[in-house]
Amino acid sequence: MSRRISIVWICSASLFVQAKQAAIPLIKALEIGSNKRTMSVIANPAFKKKYLRKEFFVEYDDLDLTQLDYTILTVPFIMNVISIVWISGETYSIEAMDEELYYSIQRLKEVFKVIYPKTCWDGELIPERLVKNILVSSVNDQIGMLFSNGLDSVFSSLFHRDKKQLLITGWGQVDIPTKSKKLWSSRKREMLEFGRTYGHDNTFLRSNFSDFRKHSVLESMSPEIHEWRLLMVEDIGWSGLVMPLLFTKGLSHLYIASSDTWDFGFPNAAGPFIEGNIKVAGISVVHDAFDYSRQDKVVGLSKMRKELLLDTLYVKVCSHAVDINCGKCDKCLQTVLGIIAIGENPRDYGFNDSIEKILNTAKSLEVAKLTYTTRYPDAITSHPELSRIRTEKSRYLSISLCPTDISRRVGVVV
């Protein structure tokens, strides 16, 4: 049974006329599958031809989409393409939109104008009417939390362990592609085990949200934007995907674990200035633990593991589409070296290699040739090659590592 109560507000006459004059409907059709859990959005043909690789879809585990209003159903698609609308320079219309979503995307647009001042943001999405959806809140004060079993989400979940949580995991992100059923089955078991261990609920969704856009085309439209998904969609898109789920369950807050802090010099579509401006149908989004660096979280997990008397605390940090930590990619090394730096055993956190092997791997990748700051625990690398990667990809390898301490501990010269 639906928890939704909607009050329709008709927009001002000028807004309605503007939408009609635009004559470019963004959505051609919205189709709900026979299982009532799957939804596909058929975009305007010209919009799709220019900007999309395929039609957008999302499937939920336990949601009857037929019970939801159009203005809730369209939120996932809107929030995954709104930045395309802005940069297109075109004015598109839509039949109706949640009132709070409409004002949220106006605020987000202003944020992007500040972040990317050399890019033109003249495109508009104009609703013919606004709908004020009223959330019927859950009685148990449960919070929604995006959960990947990575360092950030595990830290946030344990940090808020006093709150009842709905852990939400998406199948279709870069490291769990929808075609990899075996990998998904393995990762899903991990999420369920975490939920059972700490008394939280799990729910899952499947979507092509990470690869339905033509990223190469979009990245050619502005010299300021070289990685579309990360810089223009990321937590905006994630928030949109889960809104129908949260609205149905009556959850008023979505927590998204932070990956960066203010020390990260490259703005993107994930941060307090993004999440803090998102509100849909009475649901707010929290960019959680932004004041904690990655190494702060490593230290925090170590403390919480001891407080909870846990022998091991598995975190899946690998950036590759595998079901184990490879121990060689940037994210693995960044995390495992931070674990070693505080005197912990990486094997207690899901890394299979010995400390000696890990350090040798780091040395072979020239990770050991670093310059360190004096502030523990945030020693940031300044390797020229890593600086190049940061410039090109808006990411860099941040390793918290005290080389002299590690050398004394394991007898390896760094």
For the segment 367-406, what is each residue's pLDDT rounded down to a tens digit?
444 433 322 233 233 333 323 333 333 332 333 333 333 3
First to last CA, the chain: 61
Please say if the pLDDT value at position 42 is more than 60.
yes
SS3 9: strand
| Residue owning tokens 């149908």 | 281
Rounded distance, CA 188 to CA 175, Å?
13
- Confidence at residue 174, expressed as pLDDT on a 0 to 100 scale: 86
What tens digit of pLDDT does each residue of 327-344 get? 888 889 889 999 999 999
SS3 letters across 374-392? CCCCCCCCCCHHHHHHHHH
> What element of type H or E holds 170?
strand 165-171
Q: What is the mean pLDDT of residues 70-74?
A: 98
The confidence score (pLDDT) of residue 103 equals 97
**CA 348, CA 301: separation in Å to the nearest integer?**
11
State the pLDDT at residue 379: 28
156 — pLDDT class (breaks 50, 70, 90): very high
* Residue 329: predicted pLDDT: 86
- Decide if pLDDT at 317 tops 70: yes
pLDDT value for 360: 83
Predicted pLDDT of residue 323: 84
Instruction: Give strand pairing partners of 286.
Output: 255
Residue 349 phi, psi (nearest 5): -125, 15
pTM of the entire structure?
0.85
HSE, side-chain direction, 13 A CA sphere, residue 318:
18
The tokens describing 126, both together, are: 């104009």
Q: Is the pLDDT reported for residue 218 higher than 90?
A: yes
pLDDT of residue 19: 57
What is the DSSP track for 295-334? HHHHHHHHHHHHHTT-S-------SSSSSS--S-SHHHHH
Helix (H) or strand (E) holding 341, with range, is helix 330-341
What is the percent of the chain with per-residue pLDDT over 90, rounded to a whole number?
A: 70
Q: Is the pLDDT of residue 279 over 90?
A: yes
Beta strands 97-98 and 130-134, pairing class: parallel
Residue 130 identity? L
Residues 56-69 have a mean pLDDT of 96
54: which 2 tokens?
A: 């395929």
**pLDDT confidence of residue 73:** 98
Tell me, what's the pLDDT at 213? Answer: 98
Q: Which residue has better confidence, 34 or 378?
A: 34
Cα angle 117-123-127, degrees, rounded to a multiple of 5? 135
* Residue 160: pLDDT over 60: yes
| 313 Rama sector, left if φ>0, alpha if ψ -120 to 50, beta otherwise | beta
Report how far apart, in Å, the C-alpha atoms of 319 and of each of 148, 168, 325, 374 are. 12, 19, 8, 29
Comparing 72-86, 119-133, 251-265, which segment has the lowest mean pLDDT?
A: 251-265
Half-sphere exposure of 53 (CA within 13 A, CB side): 11
**φ, ψ of residue 229 in degrees (nearest 5):** -60, -45
The DSSP secondary structure of 32-45, one letter per residue, reads E-TTSSEEEEEE-H
Alpha carbons 63 and 77: distance in angstroms, whole number: 17
Question: What is the distance between the alpha carbons of residues 220 and 54, in angstroms, rounded to a whole number?
Answer: 19
Average pLDDT over residues 312-326: 90
Tens digits of residue pLDDT in 14-27: 555 655 565 699 99
pLDDT beyond 90 at 407: no
* Statement: residue 362 has pLDDT above 90: no
Written as six digits, the tokens of 196 are 């059972």
Q: Higher pLDDT residue, 367 or 201?
A: 201
Report the C-alpha gap between 128 and 164 in whole angstroms: 38
- Helix ranges (H only) for 43-201 are 45-51, 70-73, 75-88, 99-115, 151-159, 181-198
Whether the bond into 272 is cis, omega within 30 of 0:
no
Q: Which pLDDT score, from 0 to 100, does residue 411 have?
A: 31
How far is Cα 171 from Cα 23, in angstroms, rounded to an integer?
A: 35
DSSP string, 230-276: IIIIHHHHHHHHHHHHHHHHT--EEEEE-S--TT--S--S-SHHHHT
In this predicted structure, which of 127-136, 140-149, 298-307, 356-365 has the lowest mean pLDDT?
Answer: 356-365
Banded pLDDT at 6 (limits 50, 70, 90)? low
The pLDDT, as a whole number, for residue 377 is 30
**285 DSSP 8-state letter:** E
Mean pLDDT in residue range 289-318: 95
What local confidence, expressed as pLDDT, does residue 247 receive? 97
Give the CA dihedral 359, 361, 364, 368, nearest 10 degrees: -40
The stretch 6-10 carries a mean pLDDT of: 51
Of 62-76, 180-194, 254-268, 382-396, the range with the lowest mean pLDDT is 382-396
Q: How far apart are CA 44 and CA 34, in angstroms?
A: 23
CA atoms within 13 A on the CB side of 168: 27
